[in-house]
Chain A
């Protein structure tokens, strides 16, 4: 019991990662059901029967909500953040250990509430993870808008509180608990990623929480923040019970003010980690270290100024669209600067192809491929054609879901000795896992660009038996959709290798010396328990020396005297 409700940040980090692992397995299985139904609509789910349109939409909603909140926010920010961040800045613990445990248990509660929603009368919410009103605001607007929607709101509200608490904890820890010598420009880039993501979380989740409360009031307290007068659903005028002059557009503004920063919350720690892993296995310092800090912060600032690019065709003033188009195009520049720095860091180095390195290279590849369609979608005239098609699904799955998950895999392979107290994941299985996952990721999500260009909209429960000319348009996408579904199964099946690797390596993995990767940051200080004496940072991270004869040596942040024989350290 004392272990379960531990206030030790490493235990809490492991708890968060366990929760994220359960969530990612759940979310993946849901997506496989969706993909199966799309290409074989008559297939019957055992113990359930046919997948009805409302079932499909609740699968979409649960998949998006679980993956975005409980995987892509929870694992990098709360999971690895708790596990690694304090040691990486030379702190013994998080700033508020008990609050830390509290926010984990709130997150677990939020997940439990969300998972309970499919089992209530009329089923889980079907409004998508964006929950646009009035559909989500009027309980009689269809299945899934009753108790299931309330549970969705409750789950995300609890999650918002937990995430805000966790972010405040992260911010205070970084600001107050850095060890001696750990100046701001010596902070590892992962810490900058966590720092910026935490700033964004505090801003964005508080707005989301406010929006959720307003929506809840619209549903149950007779207010009309998001419901216009005269709104008629299924023959009933709802404005009668909702005096006021609401507009659904208010929800879109509030939601996307949260929703866009959210994708950076998910990806910024991964960007930081990629920089550090690439530098580590190239035995090079990160190129343009200070510029990388600046671009991280620039992405954070710009990230809260471009929510309107989700609203080009939503009824926004077209002049506003121009403004949001510019801020969106501008954010492509710090993102490009990061890619250039990654490429420069590995350029003609002598890379060590560990699995963590492979996944970081995969991250760079997916980030380029998925990111480059961003500037296309940033142009309102092109968004007019592509909005809510599978082109957008391809874009955000490549850059956020796949690149995001690749950074999580890199983190897992890289930091596994710190999770398992000195064991390594199998590199042989890791390589299989990497190549199959890369193949699956590209084959699943890249073709979605083409079905999107062909006109396939998102959120369609079926592509066959559609009346009118629409049926003809959608039927053309079926062959490619079959390929996507097959690839999705390959992608999912490849993850079994990872699970086997995890389970085996925890007990039987190769035992490793204290700093197997010759890393330079403080979390690799050569002892698996927390160091008893206070640590001190003596230099920036990623200091490597490669002599002309090819001898490599490295200067960890914790070594005081650079003249000591570095080679002796790695055998400790």
Chain B
């Protein structure tokens, strides 16, 4: 294989829903590759075969292939909708870990609710990265005192995550290719997505919605850790926050 083509493969998958998504994507890619090849073959045969004037039956060249294509697209569509419904029609379970991601020009910030399991109120007028409060947490709210803000997303492996996505200024796109995740963050709205990371490692968080001149460097790391390492990281963060 040409070295340049070796990247044709998808990045490794590190999420619970990714396996089914990959299988469905690869199935689709094989089917369209086959259809494209077949169509080109028929085109070439049609051009180079000796001509004849046999009457063409409309049902055989139009309606029959159309019916087959309709069945194919319906099948793929239904398969895809089942996967989409499984990840998007319902929210996370009650046991899922709560994390909030906020996008702003040109960084991602991640907030953990702390031991009280409740996020403190945020106010846009308080948001100021230079004072160490980039997401605008209101210190007078009692729920806010144990909140932790980090510039990397650290998660324990094999635990469902309920991620609340926000944007402070313009639309950003939260994407983790290795976790097969993508969702725009819209200013003025909080959008929840849920997923379960399944393999420890460090993965790229990208911005995938054009957000200004620093768009290309608006990235962060997602570190997926074994549960005990995650607890240790959280504890260290909490201690640092209360010094």
Partner-B contacts on A (CB < 8 A)? 52-54, 57, 126-128, 132-135, 138, 141-144, 227-235, 237, 239, 246-249, 287-288, 291, 313-315, 318-319, 321-322, 325-326, 329, 332-333, 336-337, 339-341, 343-344, 346-351, 361, 364-365, 368-369, 372-373, 375-376, 378-382, 384-385, 387-389, 447, 450-451, 453-455, 457-462, 466-473, 476-477, 479-480, 482-483, 546, 548
Known: A141-B212, A234-B105, A235-B128. A329 touches B77 (CB 8 A): yes
Distance of B63 from chain A, by nearest CB (Å): 9
Known: A325-B81, A457-B208. A469 touches B40 (CB 8 A): no
A291 to B63, CA, bound (A): 11
Distance of B120 from chain A, by nearest CB (Å): 16
Inter-chain contact A467/B219, CB cutoff 8 Å:
yes
Inter-chain contact B73/A287, CB cutoff 8 Å:
no
Q: Which residue of B lies closest to A455 (CB)?
A: B177
A468 to B177, CA, bound (A): 14
B35 partner, pick from A313, A321, A372, A387, beta carbons under 8 A: A372
Q: 1/0 per residue B74-91: CB within 8 Å of A?
A: 101100110111011100
Inter-chain contact B216/A466, CB cutoff 8 Å:
yes
Inter-chain contact B188/A325, CB cutoff 8 Å:
no
6 tightest CB-CB pairs across the interface, nearest first? A228-B188, A379-B80, A470-B219, A455-B177, A230-B124, A318-B88
Inter-chain contact A454/B7, CB cutoff 8 Å:
yes
Inter-chain contact A132/B210, CB cutoff 8 Å:
yes
Inter-chain contact A134/B80, CB cutoff 8 Å:
no
Inter-chain contact A233/B177, CB cutoff 8 Å:
no
Distance of B215 from chain A, by nearest CB (Å): 6
Interfacial residues of chain B within 28-84, with CB under 8 A of chain A in the complex: 28-29, 32, 35-36, 39-40, 42-43, 46-47, 49-53, 56, 58, 61-62, 65-66, 69-70, 73-74, 76-77, 80-81, 83-84
Inter-chain contact B204/A468, CB cutoff 8 Å:
yes
List 21 A–B pairs whose Cβ atoms lie within 8 Å, in order of A's numbering. Answer: A57-B210, A132-B171, A132-B210, A247-B188, A313-B183, A321-B84, A329-B73, A329-B76, A336-B66, A337-B62, A340-B66, A341-B62, A346-B46, A379-B24, A384-B84, A388-B208, A468-B204, A470-B205, A473-B206, A480-B7, A548-B53
Known: A132-B209, A247-B189, A348-B51. A388 touches B46 (CB 8 A): no
Known pairs A313-B182, A347-B56 / 16 extra A-B pairs, C-beta < 8 Å: A234-B169, A287-B62, A288-B62, A319-B89, A325-B81, A340-B65, A375-B32, A375-B73, A382-B28, A384-B183, A454-B10, A457-B206, A457-B208, A458-B210, A462-B216, A473-B177
A249 partner, pick from B36, B40, B125, B186, beta carbons under 8 A: B186
Inter-chain contact B49/A348, CB cutoff 8 Å:
yes
* B-chain residues with CB within 8 Å of residue A247 when the two chains form the complex: 186, 188-189
Number of B residues near A (Cβ < 8 Å) is 92
Q: Which residue of B lies closest to A232 (CB)?
A: B124
Verify if B109 is at the interface (C-beta below 8 Å from A).
no
A482 to B4, CA, bound (A): 9
A337 to B65, CA, bound (A): 9
Verify if B221 is at the interface (C-beta below 8 Å from A).
yes
Inter-chain contact B213/A364, CB cutoff 8 Å:
no
Inter-chain contact B220/A479, CB cutoff 8 Å:
no
Inter-chain contact B69/A333, CB cutoff 8 Å:
yes
Inter-chain contact B77/A326, CB cutoff 8 Å:
yes
Q: Which residue of A lies closest to B165 (CB)?
A: A315
Inter-chain contact B43/A361, CB cutoff 8 Å:
yes
Q: 1/0 per residue B177-213: CB within 8 Å of A?
A: 1001111101111010000000000111111111111
Verify if B94 is at the interface (C-beta below 8 Å from A).
no
A361 to B177, CA, bound (A): 37
Q: Which residue of A lies closest to B5 (CB)?
A: A450
* A-chain residues with CB within 8 Å of residue B211 when the two chains form the complex: 135
Verify if B98 is at the interface (C-beta below 8 Å from A).
no
Verify if B16 is at the interface (C-beta below 8 Å from A).
no
Known: A230-B188, A322-B81, A346-B46. A332 touches B69 (CB 8 A): yes
Verify if B25 is at the interface (C-beta below 8 Å from A).
yes
B11 partner, pick from A315, A361, A454, beta carbons under 8 A: A454
* B-chain residues with CB within 8 Å of residue A466 when the two chains form the complex: 216-217, 219
Distance of B81 from chain A, by nearest CB (Å): 6
Q: Which residue of A lies closest to B69 (CB)?
A: A336
Inter-chain contact B213/A126, CB cutoff 8 Å:
yes
B61 partner, pick from A249, A340, A365, beta carbons under 8 A: A340
Known: A333-B66, A381-B21, A477-B7. A459 touches B215 (CB 8 A): yes
Distance of A121 from chain B, by nearest CB (Å): 15
Inter-chain contact A372/B36, CB cutoff 8 Å:
yes
Inter-chain contact B169/A384, CB cutoff 8 Å:
no
Known: A321-B84, A361-B43. A135 touches B186 (CB 8 A): no
* B-chain residues with CB within 8 Å of residue A450 when the two chains form the complex: 5, 7-8
Verify if B156 is at the interface (C-beta below 8 Å from A).
no
Verify if B127 is at the interface (C-beta below 8 Å from A).
yes
Distance of B34 from chain A, by nearest CB (Å): 10
* B-chain residues with CB within 8 Å of residue A332 when the two chains form the complex: 69, 73
A480 to B214, CA, bound (A): 24
A90 to B169, CA, bound (A): 56
Inter-chain contact B32/A372, CB cutoff 8 Å:
yes
A344 to B58, CA, bound (A): 9
Distance of B160 from chain A, by nearest CB (Å): 17
A325 partner, pick from B77, B208, B217, beta carbons under 8 A: B77
Q: Which residue of B lies closest to A365 (CB)?
A: B40
B89 partner, pick from A318, A326, A376, beta carbons under 8 A: A318
A482 to B5, CA, bound (A): 12
Verify if B148 is at the interface (C-beta below 8 Å from A).
no
Q: Which residue of B lies closest to A318 (CB)?
A: B88
* A-chain residues with CB within 8 Å of residue B169 when the two chains form the complex: 134, 141, 231-234
* B-chain residues with CB within 8 Å of residue A468 when the two chains form the complex: 204-205, 219-221
B210 partner, pick from A127, A229, A239, A469, beta carbons under 8 A: A127
* B-chain residues with CB within 8 Å of residue A447 when the two chains form the complex: 4
* B-chain residues with CB within 8 Å of residue A458 when the two chains form the complex: 208, 210
* A-chain residues with CB within 8 Å of residue B58 when the two chains form the complex: 287-288
Distance of A130 from chain B, by nearest CB (Å): 8
Inter-chain contact A343/B62, CB cutoff 8 Å:
no
Verify if B164 is at the interface (C-beta below 8 Å from A).
no
Inter-chain contact A348/B46, CB cutoff 8 Å:
yes
